[in-house]
Amino acid sequence: MHISYNRAKEWSSHFTLLIKAILASKGPVVEVGAGFFSTPLLHWLCKSLDKKLVTYENTQEFYDFAKRFQSPLHKIKFIENWDAMDFETRWGVVFIDHHPPERRGVDVINFKDTADYIVIHDTNDSENKYNYQMAWPHFKYRYDWVAYKPWASVVSNTVDVSKWDNNVLNV
């Protein structure tokens, strides 16, 4: 596996919101799209907090990477059809960062009624290649973390995240 570190900062700009949501949530966590930064972070956070974690991935390279983190609390699932994800479980946190890009907005909507927090990466999407514009109207609350690009956002229909700030420990 070849890992390029040229985009390390861009690939980890969601950390603040993701950590904050994990600390604030009570239920299990789902990672939609494995990542060289998000998968280890979620694995160790959820392990330390005794939270169940499911990672879905549709590319072999990222699946092979994520599979190394499989444990009793962390299930790694290769998925060919994103519609086959578990949209029924009540999730504490859903993290959206998968491919193809145009699928992201669809899955944000798919989790709208079963997640307390949905953390979304790459939300400074002026070209709307991720289809996030179609998702925003489905949520009561939204907070955009714009300290670094690419931006990250958290949305919820159950928790007022609009009052969040950039301090990860203020939950």
pLDDT digits (tens, 9 = 90+) for 129-139: 999 999 999 99
Tell me how far apart the alpha carbons of residues 113 and 78 are, in angstroms, rounded to a whole number. 24
Per-residue tokens: 89? 């479980």
**pLDDT given at position 7:** 56
- Residue 92 neighbours by CB distance under 10 Å: 21
CA Rg value for the chain:
15
CA-based nearest residue to 82, from 61, 97, 64, 72: 97
Q: Say yes or no to pLDDT of 20 above 80.
A: yes
The amino acid at residue 15 is: F
Read off the pLDDT band of 169 (50, 70, 90). Answer: low
Q: In the prediction, which pLDDT does 12 show?
A: 66
* 140/35 Cα distance (integer angstroms): 28
Q: Which of 71, 122, 86 is CA-nearest to residue 101?
A: 122
Quick check: 91 and 159 in contact, CB under 8 A? no
pLDDT at residue 54, rounded to an integer: 99
122 Ramachandran zone, left/alpha/beta (phi>0; psi -120 to 50): left
pTM, two decimals, is 0.93
Name all domains of the chain by residue range, CATH numbers in brackets: 8-163 (3.40.50.150)
